[in-house]
Structure 1
């Protein structure tokens, strides 16, 4: 298949991003690949974001904007998908940018491998054997694949994890997944990011987790996937509600107890009975210990000791790296050790 006339749709959901939006838009307009439509979905912004959308849509024929009452990022992305006409789709946040060759290279990989899904970025591609979910910045999607599964959308009213739930289901529905580790998505960190604000609201996040589990139950039941995709589901539960929420978020003891029970009940009822011995061995040591713990105290005691030993090992590895003469090899090992340290 030739790429010279295939259209790529880039969808930007926007809410009060006037400080960064023009730079984000410009990074799309400067792409080396010429056939791109840019869909700006203004989710009821109260700043100058709408003015910027109007400005660029009036100046560029391949840019159009959609105005909606503030309804959340999932509704904005779903609306953009409905309006898109490209053969492939990519989602860009309104405060981030992409490298000039980003879309052209992602498309080439998709076409060369006849992929439904291209995973992007070194930080995500290294998990290729255990890829259970991805953020929107790491997804380049074939539109025909999405059309085959019209029931898979960004879940409305859920944030965070809306992108994780979306990608998790899609990854379960295809084995035509390619990797683009060299893809350069420039993620801007600032104090006004939605995920930072949301993750500070522990009560809101905890209240949504039963919705995540309900959506997963419905998906796995509908597709009869509990047995065939048990490891895929187990790794998702390990990563999202356990690692990113239970381990990393500042829940109080009562909240942690609620989440402790939610995760254990779901895993013991829906997942563990379908895992074989080899699959179970692919789960992390902390997660397996968590699943067998009788209470919070026993797990916390274990995890404090586990982190202490892991930190000690990591520091020893960094010290020994100083004696490796080849700087390139040293940097490679440092990255490898750091990545393993930050995993469970």
Structure 2
């Protein structure tokens, strides 16, 4: 990369592993961005298909596309390597099987650069959660590179997947309040059976073995930066979101695994969060998670959780009946969508 690269606005880092079926569409969506100048950093994580050839073809015809190869070491190592190579003022991590709308980078860059924020949360699905955002997938955040460099000790954790992006973003979110929002950013998320989040729901043993490592990373981070009690709610929300909602409630676990994970989460909560969490902040947690941390075991929690879900759905059905009274079709559809999401219908 030459000195001219210093004017680059955004570095788009794409880790690549056996993505030959999708990578051309992904790269092209970045080349078609309205924002200029930008760069694309392709980090091939030891692909065994023809991903390398496809990526190299783009470097020959585009001065802003760079290709790097590494022995297979995982997506975290690939992203961290790409970050070291980045020359843009801002950094965005894009998955090799997805694509972005033509105005995605420009609308995000505008929000970030206008107020010199440290990151921008992108996409309505994520901006609507603000300010209770405890973690973000890579698709939902663009970062100021100087901010990442100031906190260079925070990297994508090697050997961790899933949740490597959640741990990365959670730690960085704890270090700043300078956050912009871009609900207009449109990300095209490709669904297929090889996706990591789908595999993680099936590869249960692998995920469960990693959760204690997640907790070690979090414990060390919060102790190092002395973030308690100030960030107790932030950590509680992460526990609620990642190991509780995504793993305990969504993965297909045996009864023994459910109980083991229950005790693991509760132990970490009781030691690292509960002593610092105010009553006001506890009430900001979801009702299911409140029931969970107050239950003696998983069986006890499940009984109350099923009662909670039944009550929630009953209220939702009542609101769906009331929705019929809304005369305007557009408002009626919007109201019904909100009811379905809120009451889990």
**TM-score scaled by structure 2?**
0.96
Q: Using the alignment, how far apart are the partners of 1:203 and 1:12 within structure 2?
A: 28
SS at match of 1:38: strand
Would you say 1:238 and 2:240 are equivalent positions? yes
C-alpha RMSD of the superposition? 1.4
Deviation string 1:52-103 (CA, Å, 9 cap, x unpaired) is: 1111111111001110111111111111101111100001111111000111
2:135–2:170: 8 Å Cα contact kept in structure 1?
Answer: yes
User: Which of these residues, 61, 64, 84, is aligned with residue 63 of structure 2?
Assistant: 61
Q: Any gaps of 5 or more consecutive residues in structure 1?
A: none
How far apart are 1:5 and its partner, in Å?
4.6
SS at match of 2:97: coil
Identify the residue that residue 52 of structure 1 maps to in structure 2. Answer: 54
Deviation string 1:114-150 (CA, Å, 9 cap, x unpaired) is: 1101000111111102010000000100000001001
SS at match of 1:64: strand
How far apart are 1:6 and its partner, in Å?
4.3
Q: Using the alignment, how far apart are the partners of 2:275 and 2:259 within structure 1?
A: 23
Matches within 5 A, 1:295-306: 295-306=297-308
How far apart are 1:254 and its partner, in Å?
1.2
SS at match of 1:128: coil
Identify the residue that residue 249 of structure 1 maps to in structure 2. Answer: 251
How far apart are 1:334 and its partner, in Å?
2.6
Q: Using the alignment, how far apart are the partners of 2:302 and 2:57 within structure 1?
A: 54
Q: How many residues were matched structurally?
A: 340
Q: Using the alignment, how far apart are the partners of 2:54 and 2:287 within structure 1?
A: 49
Would you say 1:70 and 2:69 are equivalent positions? no
Would you say 1:34 and 2:19 are equivalent positions? no
How far apart are 1:164 and its partner, in Å?
0.4
SS at match of 1:130: coil
Identify the residue that residue 3 of structure 2 maps to in structure 1. Answer: none
Would you say 1:87 and 2:118 are equivalent positions? no
Identify the residue that residue 197 of structure 2 maps to in structure 1. Answer: 195
User: Which of these residues, 149, 152, 155, is aligned with residue 151 of structure 2?
Assistant: 149
Q: Using the alignment, how far apart are the partners of 2:329 and 2:204 within structure 1?
A: 43
Identify the residue that residue 139 of structure 1 maps to in structure 2. Answer: 141
**TM-score scaled by structure 1?**
0.96
SS at match of 1:274: coil
How far apart are 1:314 and its partner, in Å?
2.0
SS at match of 2:274: helix
Identify the residue that residue 171 of structure 2 maps to in structure 1. Answer: 169
Identify the residue that residue 258 of structure 1 maps to in structure 2. Answer: 260
Q: Any gaps of 5 or more consecutive residues in structure 2?
A: 1-5
How far apart are 1:342 and its partner, in Å?
4.7
| Distance of aligned partners of 1:138 and 1:7 in 2 relative to their CA distance in 1, 3 Å threshold | same
Q: Using the alignment, how far apart are the partners of 1:206 and 1:341 within structure 2?
A: 29
Q: Using the alignment, how far apart are the partners of 2:8 and 2:44 within structure 1?
A: 26
Task: Compare 289-298 and 126-135 and name the one that shifted more.
Answer: 289-298
Identify the residue that residue 211 of structure 1 maps to in structure 2. Answer: 213
Deviation string 1:157-196 (CA, Å, 9 cap, x unpaired) is: 0111100000000100000001111110110111121221
Would you say 1:325 and 2:344 are equivalent positions? no
Q: Using the alignment, how far apart are the partners of 1:342 and 1:166 within structure 2?
A: 29
Identify the residue that residue 122 of structure 2 maps to in structure 1. Answer: 120
Identify the residue that residue 292 of structure 1 maps to in structure 2. Answer: 294
Identify the residue that residue 308 of structure 1 maps to in structure 2. Answer: 310
How far apart are 1:292 and its partner, in Å?
1.3
